[in-house]
Amino acid sequence: MKALAIVPPFARSLRLAPLARINNLMALRRSRLDLADLPDHLVRDIGLTREAVLAEANRPFWDAPEHWKRLR
């Protein structure tokens, strides 16, 4: 008789969670680089200064917003 593998329904999501985290961090890095590429008139339109944009763009990719770090 063959044994059946019983896998909890959340097991797949547990395996994929690190990949999702990496994907989110890569997207964050791309967003910050895109922000840095905005022309000055668009930076002013969104209410930021060039200095604030550069400070955000130069943050390391692992420095994610606090709400991303909370467990769900």
pTM: 0.67
Q: Mind spelling out the 3-state secondary structure of the chain? A: CCCCCCCCCCHHHHHHHHHHHHHHHHHHHHHHHHHHCCCHHHHHHCCCCHHHHHHHHCCCCCCCCHHHHCCC
Residue in 19, 25, 30, 18 with CA at minimum distance from that of residue 57: 30
User: Where do the structural domains in the chain lie, given as residue ranges?
Assistant: 20-62
43 and 50 Cβ atoms separated by less than 8 Å: yes
What pLDDT is recorded for position 70?
65
Spatial distance between the Cα atoms of 42 and 19, rounded to a whole number of angstroms: 33
Kindly report which listed range (15-24, 31-40, 49-58) carries the lowest average pLDDT score.
15-24
